[in-house]
Amino acid sequence: MPLTARELSILKSNRSYLVQFLKIDDENMLTRMAESGCITKEQASYLTSKRLPAKRNRGMIDIVKRRSLRCYRQFTDCLQLSKYTCNINAAQILEHGEGITPPRFTSSKLVYTHELISMAAFLSIISVSQKICIVILLTSVVKRI
């Protein structure tokens, strides 16, 4: 069964986040994905040949987008088993359809996923690795400005 409009929409709306934060450079991760049927061995080899993580991540998203709903779910399962928090967060986004909106600052408040909360409250509810991911994201946003 091909991906539904829901999964395609989730992939499309979160593509930039996934390209930037997925960590599929671990050979064990690609092997696990190939063994589960999420991707083929040829596709795993193709992804391994990509030197830049962003190119590898784009390739992975494109592969998942063209595969079946079963493969999409296996991909999220493989991400859940990852040792990287960013992959686990990505799996939750892909499963539940939560969009990641890059945070932006408005005076002393942080706008995040359409809710206005104080910076202190926001920082108190996220993990250290999520804070690192946000710092990396903000650094790349500031560089573009």
Residue 79, domain CATH: 1.10.533.10
DSSP-derived 3-state class of residue 16: helix
Domain termination site, one of 62, 78, 96: 96
Coil, helix or strand at residue 82: coil
| 110 confidence band (pLDDT: 50, 70, 90) | very low
Q: What is the pLDDT of residue 121?
A: 58
Total residue count of the chain as it appears in this document? 145
Residue 60 sits in the same domain as residue 118: no
Give the total number of structural domains in the chain: 2
**How far apart are the C-alpha atoms of 142 and 145, rounded to whole Å?**
5
The pTM of the full predicted model, rounded to 2 decimals, is: 0.65
Q: Which domain holds residue 81?
A: 5-96
Q: What are the structure tokens assigned to 108, written together?
A: 């002393």
Whether 116 and 86 share a structural domain: no
* Residue 53, pLDDT above cutoff 50: yes
pLDDT: which is higher, 105 or 20: 20
Both 115 and 136 in a single domain? yes
Q: Which two tokens stand for residue 21?
A: 């934060």
